[in-house]
């Protein structure tokens, strides 16, 4: 599989999440770093991954979790923009949970890659 720098992927994901949360808390919707799954740096790295590893169930699960993460973030923004900030607030724990799932999967794949000598 084309190598993914998992440390960098985790760092970029955490940076994106922090920026989103800061912008959301401040009501700076125009500043929110929203993108779809393939529009963010991690999504681009996932799309560029090739080889047998990209077909592994764990990697496919990572892609699904990443897509869901962006879907939740976009839904939070949509609710907020449409005057439903209370409903958007209720979704923040789900976004945090999905973020942790994503980071855990990245960490697992990093460990697998290191164990197989692909690092």
Mean pLDDT, consecutive 10-residue stretches, the chain (119 aa), reads: 75 81 73 61 80 80 92 88 87 92 88 69
* CATH classification of the domain holding 102: 1.20.120
Give residue 8's pLDDT.
Answer: 84
In a domain, 86, yes or no: yes
Whether 94 is covered by a domain: the verdict is: yes
| pLDDT at position 39 | 64
Contact 95, 69 (CB under 8 A): yes
pLDDT at 117: 64
Q: Which residue has 């764990």 as its token pair?
A: 58
**Structure confidence at residue 119 (pLDDT):** 47
Count: domains in the chain: 1
Q: Which residues contact 25 (CB under 8 A, 6 or more apart)?
A: none
Q: Is residue 105 one of the residues assigned to a domain?
A: yes
Question: Residue 100: CB partners within 8 Å, gap ≥ 6?
Answer: none
Is 1 a domain residue?
no
Q: Is residue 18 part of a domain?
A: yes
The per-residue pLDDT for 38 is 55
In a domain, 100, yes or no: yes
Cα–Cα dist 76/117, whole Å: 40
In a domain, 38, yes or no: yes
Q: Which structural domain, as residue segments, surrounds residue 56?
A: 6-115
Angle at 39 between CA 69 and CA 100, to 5 degrees: 25
Helix, strand, coil percentages for the chain (3-state, nearest 5): 75, 0, 25
In a domain, 22, yes or no: yes
């Amino acid at each position: 599989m084309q190598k993914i720098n998992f440390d960098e992927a985790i760092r970029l994901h955490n940076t994106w999440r922090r920026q989103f949360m800061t912008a959301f808390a401040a009501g700076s919707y125009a500043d929110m770093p929203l993108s779809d799954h393939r529009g963010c740096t991690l999504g681009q790295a996932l799309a560029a991954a090739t080889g047998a590893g990209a077909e592994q169930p764990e990697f496919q699960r990572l892609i699904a979790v990443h897509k869901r993460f962006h879907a939740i973030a976009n839904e939070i923004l949509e609710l907020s923009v449409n005057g439903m900030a209370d409903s958007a607030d209720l979704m923040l724990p789900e976004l945090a949970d999905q973020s942790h799932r994503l980071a855990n999967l990245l960490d697992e794949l990093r460990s697998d890659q290191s164990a197989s000598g692909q690092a």
